[in-house]
């Protein structure tokens, strides 16, 4: 599974995971790949930093049913 995730979703040029037809970048997508052990250490840190710095990154919703 880890090899498949790296092959299909990891963009080596960008250093992050992308998905979908438009290569969407998601902070949660990076987080799940880190939590599942697909990437670790410096590669994981870099992926989070890049995702947070990208203006097109999908960020987690800050509003939940509990905060409305």
Is the CB of residue 17 less than 8 Å from the CB of residue 43? no
> CA separation (Å) from 44 to 3, 5, 13, 29?
15, 14, 15, 12
pLDDT band at 63 (very low <50, low <70, confident <90, very high): low
Q: What is the pTM of this model?
A: 0.81
> What length does the chain have?
68
Instruction: Give the C-alpha separation, 20 to 22, whole Å.
Output: 5
Q: What is the pLDDT of residues 30-56, one digit of tens each?
A: 999 999 999 999 999 999 999 999 999
Domain boundaries, the chain: 2-53
Give how far Cα 60 sits from Cα of 6, 23, 28, 41, Å: 22, 17, 7, 22
């Amino acid at each position: 599974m880890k090899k498949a995730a790296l092959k299909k979703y990891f963009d080596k040029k960008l250093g992050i995971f992308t998905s979908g037809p438009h290569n969407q970048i998601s902070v949660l997508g990076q987080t799940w790949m880190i939590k599942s052990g697909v990437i670790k250490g410096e590669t994981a840190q870099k992926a989070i930093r890049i995702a947070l710095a990208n203006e097109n990154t999908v960020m987690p919703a800050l509003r939940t049913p509990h905060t409305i």
